[in-house]
Structure 1
Amino acid sequence: MSQDLLTLSSPAANRVLAEYSEDPLGFMTRCAREFGEIVPFRIEDRLICLLTNPMHITEVLKDPLLFIKAKDLQILHGLLGNGLITSEGDFWQRQRRLTQPVFYHQRINSYGAVMVDYTKQMLQTWCEGEVRDVHDDMMRLTLNIVMKTIFNRDVTDGEASYVAHALDEAMNWFVYQMNNSLVEEQDSNVDRRYQDAIALLDDTIYAMLKHRRSSGEEGEDLLGMLMQVQDADDGSRMSDRQLRDEVASLMLAGHETTANSLSWTWMLLAQHPEVQAKLKQELKMALDGRTPTVSSLSQLPYTHMIIKEAMRLYPPVTDVSREATRDCEIGGYFIPKGCTLIASQWVMHRDPRYFQHPEVFNPERWENDLEKQLPRGVYFPFGDGPRICIGKSFALMEAVLILTTIAQAFELELVPDRAIELQPSITLRPKHGIQVVLKKA
Structure 2
Amino acid sequence: MMSETNTRTAHLYPPGPDEPYSPTQDLLSWMNNYFKRYGNIYKASVYGSSVYMISAPEYAEHVLRKNWQNYKKGMAIKRIAWLLGNGLMVSEGEFWKRQRRMIQPAFRHDAIGALSHVITAANLALLERWKEAAREKKSVNATRDISRMVAESVLMAIFGVDYEHVRPHFSILTDESARNLQFAEEFRSLGKIVSRVAAERRKKNIKSTDMLGMLMEARDRDSGQIMPDRQLVNETMTLIVAGHETTASTLNWVWYLLSQHPEVEEKLWRELDNVHASELPDLNDLRRFAYTRHILDEALRLYPPGWLMTRRALKDDHLGDYFVPAGTEIYISTYHIQRHPELWEAADCFCPDRFGPDFSQERHPPTMLPFSVGPRNCIGEIFARLEMQIHLMMIAKQLRLGYDEKKPPELDAAVNLRSKYDFVMIPEIRASGNGYETHQREQRLEGSTFNSVS
Same fold by TM (over 0.5)? Answer: yes
Aligned residues: percent identity? 31
- How is 1:346-385 mapped onto 2 (pairs within 5 angstroms)? 346-368=335-357, 373-385=362-374
Bigger Cα displacement from structure 2, 243-252 vs 224-233:
224-233
Q: For 1:159-190, what per-residue CA distance to the aligned partner results, in whole angstroms no more than 9, with x for missing partners? A: 435324268769522xxxxxxxxxxxxxxxxx
Aligned to 1:145: 153
Supply the distance in 2 between the matched residues of 1:293 and 1:264 (Cα, whole angstroms): 23
C-alpha contact 1:142 1:259 (8 A) present in aligned 2: yes
Q: Does 1:406 align with 2:399?
A: no
Deviation, 1:431, is 2.0
Supply the distance in 2 between the matched residues of 1:11 and 1:390 (Cα, whole angstroms): 36
- Structure (1 or 2) with the greater helix fraction: 1
Question: Pick from 6, 15, 18: which aligns with 1:12?
Answer: 18
Q: Does 1:136 align with 2:140?
A: no
Match of 2:323, SS state, is: strand
Supply the distance in 2 between the matched residues of 1:420 and 1:7 (Cα, whole angstroms): 37
Question: Pick from 114, 124, 127: which aligns with 1:123?
Answer: 127
TM-score, structure 2 length as denominator?
0.86
Q: Does 1:195 align with 2:185?
A: yes
Q: Does 1:341 align with 2:291?
A: no
Q: Cα 1:169–1:206, aligned 2, differ >3 Å: closer, same or farther?
A: farther
- How is 1:152-301 mapped onto 2 (pairs within 5 angstroms)? 152-153=160-161, 155-156=163-164, 159-165=166-172, 172-173=179-180, 191-192=181-182, 194-199=184-189, 201-287=190-276, 290-301=279-290
Question: Pick from 80, 95, 98: which aligns with 2:99?
Answer: 95
- The gaps in structure 2 that reach 5 residues or longer are 1-6, 431-454
Deviation, 1:9, is 2.1
Bigger Cα displacement from structure 2, 251-260 vs 56-65:
56-65
Q: Does 1:394 align with 2:383?
A: yes
Question: Pick from 50, 53, 63: which aligns with 1:50?
Answer: 53
C-alpha contact 2:148 2:174 (8 A) present in aligned 1: no
Q: Cα 1:426–1:110, aligned 2, differ >3 Å: closer, same or farther?
A: same
C-alpha contact 1:279 1:303 (8 A) present in aligned 2: yes
C-alpha contact 1:268 1:361 (8 A) present in aligned 2: yes
Match of 1:60, SS state, is: helix
Aligned to 2:444: none
Question: Pick from 102, 112, 119: which aligns with 2:116?
Answer: 112
Aligned length: 419
Supply the distance in 2 between the matched residues of 1:46 and 1:168 (Cα, whole angstroms): 35
Q: What do you get for the CA RMSD once the two structures are aligned?
A: 2.3
Deviation, 1:349, is 0.7
Q: Cα 1:439–1:12, aligned 2, differ >3 Å: closer, same or farther?
A: same
- The gaps in structure 1 that reach 5 residues or longer are 174-190
Structure with bigger gyration radius: 2
Q: Cα 1:408–1:192, aligned 2, differ >3 Å: closer, same or farther?
A: closer
Supply the distance in 2 between the matched residues of 1:378 and 1:34 (Cα, whole angstroms): 21
Q: For 1:322-366, what per-residue CA distance to the aligned partner results, in whole angstroms no more than 9, with x for missing partners? A: 011122222132212221101111101111111100111000011
TM-score, structure 1 length as denominator?
0.89
Q: Cα 1:279–1:205, aligned 2, differ >3 Å: closer, same or farther?
A: same
Q: Cα 1:226–1:370, aligned 2, differ >3 Å: closer, same or farther?
A: farther
Supply the distance in 2 between the matched residues of 1:26 and 1:69 (Cα, whole angstroms): 23
Supply the distance in 2 between the matched residues of 1:273 and 1:357 (Cα, whole angstroms): 19
Match of 1:322, SS state, is: strand
Deviation, 1:402, is 0.7
Q: Cα 1:217–1:208, aligned 2, differ >3 Å: closer, same or farther?
A: same
Aligned to 1:180: none
Bigger Cα displacement from structure 2, 111-120 vs 201-210:
201-210
Aligned to 1:86: 90
Match of 1:87, SS state, is: coil
Bigger Cα displacement from structure 2, 327-336 vs 48-57:
327-336
Match of 2:274, SS state, is: helix
Bigger Cα displacement from structure 2, 384-393 vs 4-13:
4-13
Supply the distance in 2 between the matched residues of 1:98 and 1:371 (Cα, whole angstroms): 37
